[in-house]
Amino acid sequence: MSSPFTCTVAIALLAAFGAAAQPSPIDCNAATCTFTLSFTSGPTQTHVTTGAPYSGQLTREGQTVLPMTWRDSQGRIRTERPVYQTRPGQPIPPDNFTITEIRDPVAGFQYILDPVTHTAHRTPFKPEAVTTLRRFIGDGDRQTISGVEAVVRRVGPTTETWVDPKSGVTLLQKSTGPNGVTMTMRNYSNAEPDPALFAPASDYRVVDETGPFQVTHARAPGADANVGSLIVPASFEASCSQETCTLRYTPGNSVMGAETGAPWSGLFVEERRTTPGGGSAPVVKTSPLYSVARDSAGRSLANPLFPSTHPPELDGGNFGVALLLDPVAGYRYIVDSVNHVAHRIPTKFNVWPFKPPVFLSGGEAINGIPIPVKEEDLGERVISGVTAVGVRRTHQVPLELRTRMPVSIDETWADPKTGAPLVQVRTMPTAITTETIENYKPGDPDPAILKVPSDYKIVDETVPFTFTIPRPE
């Protein structure tokens, strides 16, 4: 029930380089690796700056080196980075190759270059805004960095950014304090890059694309089936028109878990009590979330399975899809109850016998900042006819992080014989969210629940796949 934190980079740095196309996921076996690639989008990718050529590579202290970037006076941008995101000092996988992206507002195209097959994947590109850079004005101080006279702009007492006034590119940024980090631009030049960098080479075959696409390469000599593959979790996404929704499931390549010897079933229901603006009259919203069933062998069903990305107006909408895991047979199924199709995916499972829940005291760390956690044993309480054990965890979030997540109190009551979280309560300054399992039944559920219905068509899948359903009401 803990919330993740993300670390953001200053807007000045985002404007200094273009982000290369992101591979997601990388799926390798003994013979090949299949890479799913997509073109970049977003504010920093649809804004073009002209009259400010440069080249360089941004690095973040102690972390992954960011892409090498070139920009010419016409606003064309080229970025290059290795497909595997290794940290300094880590070995480079033998299947590594360079992903190159070109955004050309002059020709009106965006390219992703595959150097292995000499293919240029192309999609139309039209910038939403074009800006001619004006000379950057700093706070007065100057120093020579990378052979140019940089000017500084300070944000409060903890952050200073040194910029090339001719290109507007950040050459050095220093942040002090608990979240302090240093970012530097290396191999920097503000000269006009070679024009040949902004077009595919003449021996490349051009293929037009309309969305994410896949490239498959033979494994490098000596590469192990599991070495070099990124651990990518499964994902489920939806994009909808007025009439239909296209659902995309990416199996990923991570091992799934299964717990044996602790069968149960029930329906998760959420009640959310909010006090907008700190008011005294709470707004109460109750809604069913999903049902869960698990048998003694570790087979389980979660129904429905909600897409992680979908139009906001469909929040809470039932897409008619369930996730069925069968560690005995070695498959997972994406069960489409609309089209009566079960998409079957070979899956590796990590199977372990059930152990009663153990509540660990101590703390957490977020972005390197320790988060002390006070833990209290709440004893026992009868819930749904069983004796549950409870724990309360108070996250004592430091002041420098409280703008991101207020202090929270989590309370969990679980069945010690199955581990099922019968009641989970999160208390925050303006909301109390309670998840409860209704119709809770310890013991093996009806075996038919954990099988694909006999009238469903089974389709074997090994890579990301899509299917279409009517738009939920």
**Beta-carbon count within 10 A of 265 CB:** 24
pLDDT digits (tens, 9 = 90+) for 203-231: 999 999 988 888 888 876 655 544 444 45
> Which of 32-46, 353-367, 394-408, 426-440 is modeled with the greatest confidence?
426-440
pLDDT bracket for residue 129 (50, 70, 90): confident
**Tokens 């389709």, residue?**
459
pLDDT bracket for residue 136 (50, 70, 90): low
Residue type, 200: P
Cβ-based burial of 26 (10 A; exposed 0-12, middle 13-18, buried ≥19) = buried
> Which of 164, 229, 140, 159 lies closest to 15, judged by CA?
164
The pLDDT of residue 448 = 95
The pLDDT of residue 64 = 52
Residue 44 has pLDDT above 90, yes or no: no
The better pLDDT of the pair 390, 400 is held by 390
Query: Pairing mode, if any, of strands 148-155 and 244-250?
Result: unpaired
The pLDDT of residue 459 = 96
6, 30, 258 from 348: Cα distances, Å: 30, 15, 10
